[in-house]
Chains A and B, each alone.
Chain A
């Protein structure tokens, strides 16, 4: 079975632009979470969605938004890109949002903002 998939693999944008990142969860998983991993740091939680509803939000500005579709795939949008948004963006899926539901991570999308 396929794991979590993310697209694109790499992306280069300039300051002020907007970007959309995509994630497909493992089949049967209804929750998707997004994390930002800046080089040399641990992943930071951005959003969690379950059954198309936002269930958690990290400490990120309103330039960051996300949504989940009926097939449980998800998009992360970032507007007005800043240099500091350059990072690896990780998506993780889980069956649900209980503490015991294990999360499985995708390979990430590497975003570079010039």
Chain B
């Protein structure tokens, strides 16, 4: 079945450091890929998405490229800020299963000043 494997955390970085959170997927059909962010005590917010191979999603300095050959969708940011501290979830949505999501287990990021 469809699934997402996400880099385990927690991840602690200093402000302005480079961030990479790895995500790989298994899916039938042609999935869309997403990164969601969850701040403490809040629901999920869409960070970025890519709907087909080689697409690059970007938002707020974060980027991720849909790599079909490696079945990956790694999240990157060149310079993190304290306000980026949150839990990040990689997710896929397969056209074979309507538009329900399959999420990874989440990666907790803490950025220290």
A105, B102: Cβ atoms closer than 8 Å: no
Query: B94 to chain A: which residues have CB within 8 Å?
Result: 99
CB-contact partner of A106 in B43, B91, B100, under 8 A: B43
Give A contacts to B, CB under 8 Å.
31, 33, 35, 40-45, 48, 55-56, 58, 90, 92, 94, 97-108
Residues of B within 8 A of A (CB): 4, 6, 32, 36, 42-46, 51, 89, 91, 93-95, 97-106
**Which chain B residues lie closer than 8 Å to A98 at the CB level?**
98-99
Contact B99 A35 (CB under 8 A): no
Bound together, the chains give a CA A44 to CA B106 distance in angstroms of: 12
Q: B6 to nearest A CB, angstroms? A: 8
Contacts of A55 in B (CB 8 A): 98
Give Cα A31–Cα B95 distance, bound, in whole angstroms: 16
Contacts of B51 in A (CB 8 A): 100
Q: A99: which of B4, B44, B98 is its contact (CB, 8 Å)?
A: B98
Kindly state the separation between the CA atoms of A33 and B104 in the bound complex, as whole angstroms.
Answer: 18
Q: By the criterion CB–CB under 8 Å, are B99 and A41 in contact?
A: no
Indicate if the CB atoms of A97 and B98 lie closer than 8 Å.
yes
Chain A residues in 8 Å Cβ range of B32: 99-100
Do residues A45 and B99 form an inter-chain contact, with CB atoms below 8 A?
A: no
Which residues from B are CB-within-8-Å of A45? 100-102
Instruction: List residues of chain A with CB within 8 A of the CB of B101.
Output: 33, 35, 43, 45, 92, 103
Contacting pair A56 B89 (CB below 8 A) = no
- A113 to B: closest C-beta gap in Å: 20
Are B44 and A90 interface neighbours, CB within 8 A? yes
Minimum C-beta distance from B1 to chain A (A)? 9
CB atoms of A105 and B44 under 8 A apart? yes
Query: Which chain B residues border A100 with CB–CB below 8 Å?
Result: 32, 51, 99
Which residues of B lie under 8 Å from residue A97 when comparing CB positions?
98-99
- The answer to whether A44 touches B99 (Cβ under 8 A) is no
